[in-house]
Amino acid sequence: MVARDLRYVVLGEDTAHGNFVRRWLIAEGVEPRNIRLIPPPAGTGGAGDEHVKRKYPEEVAYYRRRANAQRVALVIVIDADRETVRHRQRQLDEALSENQSPPRADPERIAILVPKRNIETWLHTLPGTPADEETDYKPLFVGKTAAACAAAAPHFQEFLQRTPSDTDLPSLAASRSEAARLV
Amino acid sequence: MLKRLKVDNFKCLDGFDLELGDHALLMGLNGTGKSTVIEMLERLRRFLVDGEKARNCFPASTQTRRSSFWKKLQRFELFLEGDIEVTIELTPPDEEGIVQVVKEVVRAPAALLERQSGPTIRIGSGPDDAENIIILVPDELAALPLVGLFKSASSVIDTLLKVFSTVSDILPFRLAPTQMEVLASTPAAALAPDGANFAAWLLMFDRRFPERREAMERQVAAVLPAFRRFHLVPEGEQFRLVTEWRSASGKTGRFDFNELSDGQRLIAVLAGIAVATEAEGRASTLVLDEPDNYVALPEIQPLLLSLMDQPGMQLIVASHHPEIIDLMAKDYGIVFTREDDIGPVRVERWQAAPDEALTPSELVARGELHGGA
């Protein structure tokens, strides 16, 4: 259960990332007007993850300037692709370090969601279809991501409240501790 | 849902062919025909849904200006979800301004309505149906809006009624908050394209969907947090539309609808449309011309997303606003250009290079308004 009274900024690689998080936060009871999606780049190729890495330090700085006085939160979504969840998180840590920003601290309401292989893996599996983190499910969702995000987001909320299981996809399991930062 | 639109000889739309997806953002420089598409849909709705005479909907001023083929037919083709096609051909106005329907064909699975010649309309399950019904409809009117008058309960009529309903669900709006009235006398079944009769339309909404009023008010509050309720207060034989507000600190206030800002009125009307569409349980095509005109910057993204969230809603928007471009261009952008600057309108899908790191609005601001970059 995330805090409903925060103003959320969502930074994702692509429209689908923003859509998914927005739908999830609404399912959690956050008012839509308190969710700001950062526009993703126009390119449909590999521009998205670079965009997240480039914008991340700026958004962390924005968050830190306000966090003491305002109820704000930052949610990052970046696909693991063929890398690991930890590798992506480390890349973001490095982006902060290159900007002379301190690393993310425990009490900071900055959540980093790293779907593996990509967000489509979560969209595929959350409604109940078995999936693995190596297959690329993107082709299943061409032109359908908006509807798929709407369908999957409430399941994500349920997933976060369920008791962890050995069968959970590792990237989804890792999202539990990230969502817990948003209380 | 509108899947494709073909138009000949309507202002700058000639040889015009527009394919649409789940939503569409009509992009382009000024004068490239975006608002003309919305005007054309508005006129076509008056003709095909409201049953107005062709001469009122398509006067000479709606013809494409050309030197050599001035007297060309106007042609409109709608391709709708459910394999529905509607084709209309109209003569140019004669000396008395009369516009005649020379072709009206409505095709749907297992139903065909076809104007044979003059006022004769044939209705049946297909061209070979031995039990065709023949009706006479004056050649200044469309036959489709009259299908509802049939008492027959045949499957063909049922299908044509569904076609009529699908065409009715295309809702072009050029909302004008300054025209929105505060008083209503009788309930209005349809909201006017400029939203002027919102109060009267709300009276009807309350009769049809009283249980949905709260959802509408929540939808307004999703964008305007202090908004609480609409009240239709009796005043003689009329009703006054009053709004109730409560600030975060608990301060309350009531304001007449015409005391609200243009943007607040626009947001209220759009919320009404969205909730009514959901309450009807039908897929609607909402067509909006520059809805950002009156809306504050922080309200644009929540407003557009709340409309796009509505199940079954196809949103078609003409806009130059960077917020809307960033929200919609990448997935739904369609670029409008004119052939040789002043010729007919041509359209193509907006697309950036795959590795483009700038946002869509920044590219557009730099003049990159072409498709398929």
| CA angle centred on B277, ends B274 and B282, rounded to 5° | 145
Taking CA atoms, what residue in B is nearest to A36? B301
What pLDDT, on the 0 to 100 scale, is given for residue B176? 94
What separation in angstroms does the CA of B372 have from each of B163, B349, B354, B368?
A: 35, 7, 10, 10
Calculate the dihedral angle through the C-alpha atoms of B80, B82, B83, B84, rounding to the nearest 10 degrees: -50
Instruction: Tell which wins on pLDDT, B135 or A152.
Output: A152
- Burial code of B179-203, b = ≥16 C-beta within 10 A, e = fewer? ebbbbbeebbeebbbbbbbbbbbbb
Q: Which of B22, B301, B357 sits opposite A37 (nearest CB)?
A: B301
Cα–Cα distance between B86 and B108 in angstroms, integer? 9
The whole-number average pLDDT for the span B144-151 is: 84
A154 contacts chain B (CB < 8 A): no
What pLDDT, on the 0 to 100 scale, is given for residue B295? 87
Cα–Cα distance between B317 and B334 in angstroms, integer? 10
What digits encode the pLDDT tens for the residues B99-125? 999 999 999 998 899 998 789 999 988
What pLDDT, on the 0 to 100 scale, is given for residue B372? 53
Q: With an 8 Å Cβ cutoff, are A143 and B22 in contact? A: yes
Among B86-90, B129-133, B368-372, name the one with the lowest average pLDDT.
B368-372
A105 contacts chain B (CB < 8 A): no
Cα–Cα distance between A104 and A113 in angstroms, integer? 14
Q: With an 8 Å Cβ cutoff, are A42 and B301 in contact? A: no
The whole-number average pLDDT for the span B28-52 is: 95
Pairing of strands B74-80, B84-90: antiparallel
- Residue B69's pLDDT band (boundaries 50, 70, 90)? low
User: Chain B residues within 8 A (CB-CB) of chain A?
Assistant: 21-22, 222-223, 225, 298-299, 301-302, 305-306, 308-309, 326-327, 329-331, 351-363
What pLDDT, on the 0 to 100 scale, is given for residue B127? 74
Query: How does the average pLDDT of chain B come out, rounded?
Result: 91
| Predicted confidence (pLDDT) at residue B70 exceeds the cutoff of 60 | no
A142 contacts chain B (CB < 8 A): no
| Predicted confidence (pLDDT) at residue A66 exceeds the cutoff of 90 | yes
What separation in angstroms does the CA of B96 have from each of B59, B61, B93, B100, B352?
A: 11, 14, 7, 12, 50
Q: What is the pTM of this model?
A: 0.91
Amino acid identity, position A150: A
- Residue B44's pLDDT band (boundaries 50, 70, 90)? very high
What pLDDT, on the 0 to 100 scale, is given for residue B354? 87
Q: Which of B298, B302, B356 sits opposite A41 (nearest CB)?
A: B356
Cα–Cα distance between B42 and B150 in angstroms, integer? 26
| CA angle centred on B333, ends A114 and A22, rounded to 5° | 35
Q: Which of B21, B308, B358 sits opposite A41 (nearest CB)?
A: B358
Rounded to the nearest angstrom, the minimum Cα separation between B188 and chain A is 31
What separation in angstroms does the CA of A115 have from each of A141, A144, B312?
A: 15, 18, 28
What pLDDT, on the 0 to 100 scale, is given for residue B67? 53
What separation in angstroms does the CA of A98 have from each of A10, A103, A153?
A: 22, 11, 34
Q: With an 8 Å Cβ cutoff, are A143 and B21 in contact? A: yes
Taking CA atoms, what residue in B is nearest to A18? B327
Cα–Cα distance between B346 and B199 in angstroms, integer? 39
Instruction: Tell which wins on pLDDT, B68 or B315.
Output: B315
Cα–Cα distance between B117 and B89 in angstroms, integer? 12
- Residue B140's pLDDT band (boundaries 50, 70, 90)? very high
The whole-number average pLDDT for the span A114-140 is: 96
Cα–Cα distance between A18 and A181 in angstroms, integer? 18
- Residue B280's pLDDT band (boundaries 50, 70, 90)? confident
| Predicted confidence (pLDDT) at residue B373 exceeds the cutoff of 50 | no
Selected residues 31-60 of chain A with any CB under 8 Å from a CB in chain B: 31-33, 35-37, 39-47, 50-51, 54
What pLDDT, on the 0 to 100 scale, is given for residue B150? 76
Rounded to the nearest angstrom, the minimum Cα separation between A32 and chain B is 6
The whole-number average pLDDT for the span A166-180 is: 96
A17 contacts chain B (CB < 8 A): no
| Predicted confidence (pLDDT) at residue B129 exceeds the cutoff of 80 | no
Q: What percent of chain B has pLDDT over 90?
A: 73
Q: With an 8 Å Cβ cutoff, are B225 and A50 in contact? A: no
What pLDDT, on the 0 to 100 scale, is given for residue B34? 95
What pLDDT, on the 0 to 100 scale, is given for residue B368? 86
What 3-state DSSP class applies to B112? strand
What pLDDT, on the 0 to 100 scale, is given for residue A47? 79
Rounded to the nearest angstrom, the minimum Cα separation between B78 and chain A is 22
A150 contacts chain B (CB < 8 A): yes
DSSP tag of B10:
B
| Predicted confidence (pLDDT) at residue A163 exceeds the cutoff of 70 | yes
Cα–Cα distance between A37 and B308 in angstroms, integer? 15
Q: Which of A33, A39, A44 sits opposite B359 (nearest CB)?
A: A39
What pLDDT, on the 0 to 100 scale, is given for residue B269? 94
Q: Which residues does B358 contact at the CB level (< 8 Å), separation at least 6?
A: A41, A42, B352, B366
What pLDDT, on the 0 to 100 scale, is given for residue B371? 59
